[in-house]
Amino acid sequence: MSQIATPGRLTDPPTALSTAPAIAIRGLTLRFGGETLFENLDLDLEAGRFTVLLGASGVGKTTLLRIVAGLETPDGPGGSVRADDGRPLAGRIAWMAQQDLLCPWLDAAANVALGDRLRGRRPDRDRVAGMLASVGLDGRGGVMPAALSGGMRQRVALARTLYENRKVVLMDEPFSALDSPTRLRIQDLAADRLAGRTVLLITHDALEACRLADRLVVLAGRPARLIEHPVPPGPVPRRSDDAEVLAAQGALLERLAAGIG
């Protein structure tokens, strides 16, 4: 297992971070074949906060994320996804997936700057090095993905997300493939490095949800509805051994097992 050091904070200007928008999702309806996944679904993502989304497999979590990202179009004229500053969301969203999606033929540094390469821009080497250092991978830019552990690969993926410096970050079970201690450390890192951005995180891990959520919602049923679940007190990331976090995790698991999610 690789331990994550506690590196210095990122150098993104605070003014840039403070412009993270709130997002209002309104009146979403989506049908696949004969199934109605969403019917007039609303969700608000608070500016600069972690909203955590749980729910049973197949309920529609990834589809909801894809709609927010503009990768899926809701049915009918009523549905909308809008930023509260009135500006388009396109170009302001980063995506982190369950798989690290690193290109195996590029080293860690080139993977961090992949977006620049795809846009035909010259990567900013100093920023790339800074992002790698900020996730505890100082001096590892030349290492190929095959030589990195799963936890380190996800840290490179996090550095790539940070390099993009988007104000909205959509995360689809980004840590689910990691062992528990590594997952705990990268949760801490993500909470610290993504602070101030508007984050929507999908997870099946009740402890992860209770550690990271400023707001916790469960997607359940068909058509799916959203059910609020209370979050433990205190700022994120909360300690995994905190009594209130453990109690909230237990209560959340009981609710999920009872079939609300």
The structure tokens 């250092």 sit at 133
Least Cβ distance, residue 195 to ligand ATP (angstroms) = 26
Q: Which of 25, 41, 47, 59 binds ligand ATP (CB under 6 A)?
A: 59
Fill in the per-residue mask, 62 to 91: x = in contact with ligand ATP (CB under 6 A), - = not in contact.
Answer: xx----------------------------
Distance CA 61, CA 58 (A): 8
- Residue 234: C-alpha distances to residues 181, 231, 237 (Å): 22, 9, 9
Regarding 261 and contact with ligand ATP (CB under 6 A), the answer is no
Residue 134's nearest CA partner among 193, 48, 194, 212 is: 193
- The verdict on 222 binding ligand ATP (CB under 6 A) reads no
- Select from 13, 15, 34, 57 the one that contacts ligand ATP (CB under 6 A): 57
CB 132 within 8 Å of CB 112: yes
CB of 175 vs ligand ATP, minimal distance in Å? 14
Q: Do the beta carbons of residue 52 and residue 212 sit within 8 Å?
A: yes
- The 3-state DSSP class for residue 171 equals strand
CA distance 26 to 82: 8
What's the CA gap between 112 and 125, in Å, rounded?
10
Selected binder of ligand ATP within 10, 37, 89, 260 (CB under 6 A): 37
User: Shortest Cβ distance from residue 55 to ligand ATP (Å)?
Assistant: 6
- Size of site (CB under 6 A) for ligand ATP: 10
By CB under 6 A, which span of 1-9, 58-66, 119-127, 191-199 interacts with ligand ATP?
A: 58-66
174 binds ligand ATP (CB under 6 A): no
Record the tokens describing residue 89, joined without a space: 């969301």
Pick the closer one to ligand ATP by CB: 52 or 108. Answer: 52
H or E segment at 29? strand 23-32
Stretch that binds ligand ATP, among 2-10, 50-58, 80-88, 126-134 (CB under 6 A): 50-58
Asked whether 177 and 204 are in contact (CB, 8 A), the reply is: no
Give least dist CB 57 to ligand ATP, A. 3
Verify binding: residue 203, ligand ATP, rule CB under 6 A.
Answer: no
159 vs 219, beta carbon nearer ligand ATP: 219
Q: Given the complex with ligand ATP, which of 33 and 104 has the nearer CB atom?
A: 33
DSSP 75: S
Kindly provide the b/e burial profile for residues 70-101, where b requires at least 16 CB atoms within 10 angstroms of the residue's own CB. Answer: eeeebeeeebebebeeeeebeebbbbbeeebe
Q: Which residues bind ligand ATP (CB under 6 A)?
A: 32, 37, 55, 57-63
